[in-house]
Structure 1
Amino acid sequence: MEQQLNGSAFVRHLGAVTGNGRAGYAALADRVRTLLSDGRLAVGTRVPSERELAVALGVGRGTVAAAYEDLRESGHLARRRGSGTWTALPTDPSPTPVAPFAPLGAVGPSGSNPGVIDLAHAAPAAPADVMALAGQEALAALPDHLVGPGYDLLGLLALRTAIADRLTAQGLATTPDEVMVTAGSQHAHALVVRALARPGDRILLEQPTYPNAIDLVRHASARPVPMALDRDGASGATGDRDDAGRVRWDVAAFASALRDSAPALAYLVPDHHNPTGGVMDAETRGAVVAAARRHAVPLVIDDCLRDLWLDEPVPPPVGSWATVAGEAPVLTLGSLSKTIWGGVRIGWLRGPRAVLRRVATSRASDDIASPVLEQLVALALLRRLDAVLPARRTTMAARRDHLLAALARALPDWSASRPSGGLSLWVDLHAPRSSGLVEAAARHGLHLAAGPRFGTGGAFEGFLRVPYTHPVDVLDDAVARLAAAWESVDAGAPTMLSPVV
């Protein structure tokens, strides 16, 4: 079943749109275009009939009919014979290719891309002294493991115990046999999709979301089902950036998406959501788990950014609300890549034993085990993590505030909320020119990821994710290049990526 909205649900998206005649239909059409461009209304959604929407809005049917016709002419609605009217986005006749969301590679004097600043990937540099100590400790512990075969699908018991203890301390009671060690959280996510989803299955994703999660769904020959996040009214200027554009999860929309699309899985990033920075509140966490249980849909919770709170700790893990055993497990992904360093390719999957056995059976065919030495390094890092995090948070908070101030000075027409944690800003450009900006920035030695990379159907042309993981002098250089690139972008027709369906 495809996504569809009835009259009352569509009105909830539209908000207050009133009036008849030309002003009324123009306002309605503009509101729909805005919702589509920033991803709050998913492309490929069946909208209610003209009569149904007119009744729900309390306006004349002619007003809705005129708005729908305007939207069809602009390419934002498409009529399908025998199946109603569906949302769409106009396509550029010469679209920019969608590149994989893969790391650019090393930058700087010793890297492969000297002089290039990478703002496409939110990954901090490693704490060198801590990494050196962890490496020494791992090498010292290695001889004790050389007497065995070195294979363990679940991972070293000592590391699984440390992970379980950390999750338990966060509020998610966990035993070592409920943990599998993986080569990063993306690997854990891929293993879950391969074990629990089949080609053609639907997988529910937030809109926007982490780009590699979208790519993973497609590589598995599954179908992404976008669920738009609600966004508070963004300001027209940067003056109230702290309140502009904050996101929240609409539980009713989530439950409706579970019911209507019957997905095999639902993937959520509740803590310092990537890319918006939003944090799901405790009440919503409980409601999301309850909805998933009612519809028997497993939840995949990406908790990689959980420890990177900058202002205040986040609520307990979503899995802590899964107190009833049943057909809708909550699977939690974690790693050290964001808190310590992207080069630490050790992550984990936490879930019920029965699900881990199923995932392990699938994994055994091509990935026998995680490397022992890397697991020992991860164990040493976990033992030091609570000592490392305070300084890490202080540094990232200072960089976040510095970047917000630098953007406000150099690009005052843009706006961004002040995230309470994570590694990046979700910037509203107030113009659908993200892809054109990415192309222009490359000529200034700046590597960016266009807004549409974070969604499906070509949405988010008016947005850009900007990490604050670099030192402040590099951030200042990046903002100067960004401003120069923005100035050089053609102010004419917007450049859009071709829709990805």
Structure 2
Amino acid sequence: MIDLTAAVLPADPNVHAAYVRALERLPANLPGHGYEPEGLEELREAVAQSYRRRGLATSPGQILITHGAHNGLVHLLRLTVRPGVPVVFDHPTYPQAIDAILAAGGRPTPVALPDDGDGWDVDSLVSACRSSGAPMAYLVLDHNNPTGRMMRAPDRARLLAGLKGSETLLVLDETLVELTLSGPPALTASAVDAPRVVRLGSMSKSVWGGLRIGWIRADRAVIQRLAQSRASFDLGVPILEQLAAVKLLTDGGAALAARRPLLRARRDHLRAQLAQHLPDWSCPRPAGGLSLWVRLPAPISSALTAQAETEGLRLAAGPRFGIDGAFEQRLRLPYTLPESELQQAVERLARGVKALGRKSRQTTSTQSRTVLVY
């Protein structure tokens, strides 16, 4: 079975060495009780330094270490959202974010990404936040998952200006911010700040998902409230993983720079295979991120996902990235696997399309919201 439900990479080659170094440093931490509600000071400083390199003045006191970015979002939802209140998000979006909003009792309030362009409808985002009184907006502006889009700096400034004075907490998921593949990383484009902007970061996409290290960057008052409230949910992040993360974060981005050519090659290989085997599919070339957001010639995403399973290919149907059955004419295809596996995946996908064509288009299959997508 080839699994394309996960847009993630295997571990960075430096992860093992980072754990070896962390074990060497662990004895110095053993005399203490090991509980760090905000995270190790040196890791928070390393994260703060990564923001300063982007032009965002940041102190360790503005950082809370979490079990990945998703865990950070859950903490923020618990702190901010009450049952029935709207939570605005760009549509499509990361599936687990929708699940988290629903689990918190929030009312998902989508704002569609323009289907015929590569940007955001900033006016609609501002209007949705203000008219609904949403306490939170969750946006993926940096290589949006699943589309790969990145919001331009002028639009970010316009978004912040439009929300100035509102009660909406703007939560920006920057998990993919460093994964620019066309040209140098556009980190300065995301260096637009305001008091009610909270940023989620993670090492899951850029280093390794198994590390389970993420963070929240926010005003000091918000960090203190989060540190107090997390005691009823979790008691912090393991020290060993934090020590390994310090080592990985202080390499100056060299490891990720070495992986970008590999990702570019796999992205282009997947697009070439799709053009050869499924020429009527539309596959825009994303400037970054880890997946293609493919337009299908017909609304068959869920049915094709079910058929592909019989061909030995596991997919996440387009509707998994939205609500109310949207995106039946879309499919997310990660390009994180080796080229040989991507080629096999496309061949199986093409067989699935042919098999589906022999069946009645009136018989479709839906994919449960419980399907995990990374």
Q: What does residue 93 of structure 2 align with?
A: 209
CA contact (8 A) 2:48 2:63 kept: yes
- Alignment partner of 1:314 out of 178, 181, 186: 186
Q: What does residue 140 of structure 1 align with?
A: 24
Q: What does residue 493 of structure 1 align with?
A: 362
- Residue 353 of structure 1 deviates from its aligned partner by 0.7
Q: What does residue 416 of structure 1 align with?
A: 283
CA deviations 1:44-67 (Å, max 9, x no partner) are xxxxxxxxxxxxxxxxxxxxxxxx
Q: What does residue 281 of structure 1 align with?
A: 152
Distance 1:494 1:230, change over 3 A: farther
Q: Is 2:331 the partner of 1:446? A: no
- Residue 126 of structure 1 deviates from its aligned partner by 1.1
Q: What does residue 142 of structure 2 align with?
A: 271
Distance 1:262 1:497, change over 3 A: farther
- Residue 290 of structure 1 deviates from its aligned partner by 1.6
Equivalent pairs counted in the alignment come to 366
CA contact (8 A) 1:152 1:370 kept: yes
Unmatched segments (≥5 aa) in structure 2:
370-374
CA contact (8 A) 1:279 1:314 kept: no
- Alignment partner of 1:168 out of 37, 45, 52: 52
Q: Is 2:232 the partner of 1:348? A: no
Q: What does residue 81 of structure 2 align with?
A: 197
- Counterpart CA distance in 2 for 1:183 and 1:149 is 19
Percent of aligned positions that are identical: 46
Letter in 1 for 2:290: L
CA contact (8 A) 2:153 2:189 kept: no
3-state DSSP of counterpart to 2:110: strand
CA contact (8 A) 2:134 2:167 kept: no
- Counterpart CA distance in 2 for 1:494 and 1:275 is 26
- Counterpart CA distance in 1 for 2:363 and 2:110 is 23
CA contact (8 A) 2:37 2:236 kept: yes
- Counterpart CA distance in 2 for 1:369 and 1:198 is 24
Q: What does residue 126 of structure 1 align with?
A: 11
CA contact (8 A) 1:441 1:485 kept: yes
Q: What does residue 157 of structure 1 align with?
A: 41
- Counterpart CA distance in 2 for 1:496 and 1:169 is 47
Unmatched segments (≥5 aa) in structure 1:
1-115, 233-245
- Counterpart CA distance in 1 for 2:192 and 2:287 is 23
- Residue 361 of structure 1 deviates from its aligned partner by 1.6
CA deviations 1:438-458 (Å, max 9, x no partner) are 100111111100000001110
CA contact (8 A) 2:88 2:110 kept: yes
Structure 1 stretches of at least 4 aligned residues deviating more than 6 Å after TM superposition: none
- Residue 268 of structure 1 deviates from its aligned partner by 0.5
CA deviations 1:186-223 (Å, max 9, x no partner) are 00010001011111111001110000010000001111
CA contact (8 A) 1:211 1:454 kept: yes
Q: TM-score, length-normalised on structure 2? A: 0.95
3-state DSSP of counterpart to 1:190: helix
CA contact (8 A) 2:303 2:366 kept: no
- Counterpart CA distance in 1 for 2:74 and 2:129 is 21
Q: Pick the structure with greater CA Rg.
A: 1
CA contact (8 A) 1:433 1:496 kept: no
Q: Which has the higher contact order (CA 8 A, sep 6+)?
A: 2
Q: What does residue 162 of structure 2 align with?
A: 291
CA deviations 1:9-31 (Å, max 9, x no partner) are xxxxxxxxxxxxxxxxxxxxxxx
- Counterpart CA distance in 2 for 1:330 and 1:454 is 24
Q: What does residue 333 of structure 2 align with?
A: 466
CA deviations 1:137-167 (Å, max 9, x no partner) are 1011111111111001100000000000001
CA deviations 1:392-446 (Å, max 9, x no partner) are 1010000000000000000001011100010000000020000001100111111
Q: What does residue 5 of structure 1 align with?
A: none
- Residue 499 of structure 1 deviates from its aligned partner by 11
- Counterpart CA distance in 2 for 1:366 and 1:287 is 36
Say which is worse superposed, 491-500 or 169-178, in terms of deviation.
Answer: 491-500
Q: What does residue 379 of structure 1 align with?
A: 246
Q: What does residue 265 of structure 2 align with?
A: 398
Q: TM-score, length-normalised on structure 1? A: 0.71
- Counterpart CA distance in 2 for 1:382 and 1:176 is 14
Q: Map 1:15-94 onto structure 2 (within 5 A).
A: none
